[in-house]
Amino acid sequence: MESFSELIKTRRSMRKFTEEELTQEQVVTLMKTALMAPTSKRSNAWQFIVVDDKETLKKLSFCKEQASQFIADAALAVVVTADPLASDVWIEDASIASIYLQLQAEDMGLGSCWVQLRERFTASGMSSNEYVHEVLDMPLQLQALSIIAIGHKGMERKPFNEDNLQWEKIHLNKYGGK
């Protein structure tokens, strides 16, 4: 990308991927980015489970009742977890790491989509967090916040249209301030 502004405009959720795999170099670049994500008091409460095994990707695609099936077609899924005992702001820290992964993927010309796990459930009613724990044999203390599905883009998406910005959501000095 030429600029951060361009990156922000072009990053759109991608739910269709080609069958092309990622290179080891691409995966390493993505994970370096995740490990550089800021955390409160540099607690680094997050941990990342990198999944490229097709059978495991298929299992992860059932982590929610809906809106997660595309994980099966991704080249890679990064399960973003954190330890709530290591930081009281683990949700925020894991969220920052999740978006860092998405921005890095876009900068590399890859597509990505955030799959929310916290407070979500499978079709059978099991919590998504519990389901992912079982699939990945995660330690109990870790909480799964999201899965970032990543792969080569399987479709084109138009950049964000600045004409649609909701300027009415911006307030100056106080709510409703002018």
- Asked if residue 42 has pLDDT above 70, the reply is yes
Instruction: State residue 134's pLDDT score.
Output: 98
Listed residue (43, 126, 113, 121) closest to 82, CA to CA: 43
| Mean pLDDT of all residues in 9-35 | 97
Tens-digit pLDDT profile for residues 132-142: 999 999 999 99
Beta pairing partners, 110: 152
**For residue 101, how far is the Cα from the chain centroid?**
6
Distance, first Cα to last Cα, the chain: 35
Share of the chain above pLDDT 70, in %: 99
Prediction pTM value: 0.95
Domain boundaries, the chain: 4-169
> Do the Cβ atoms of 143 and 84 come closer than 8 Å?
yes
| Mean pLDDT of all residues in 128-149 | 98
**Which fold would CATH assign to domain 4-169?**
NADH Oxidase (3.40.109)
CA distance 159 to 166: 16
Instruction: State residue 176's pLDDT score.
Output: 85
Tens-digit pLDDT profile for residues 71-112: 999 999 999 999 999 999 999 999 999 999 999 999 999 999
- Asked if residue 178 has pLDDT above 70, the reply is no
CA distance 174 to 67: 37
The residue length of the chain stands at 178
Structure tokens at 6: 């361009």
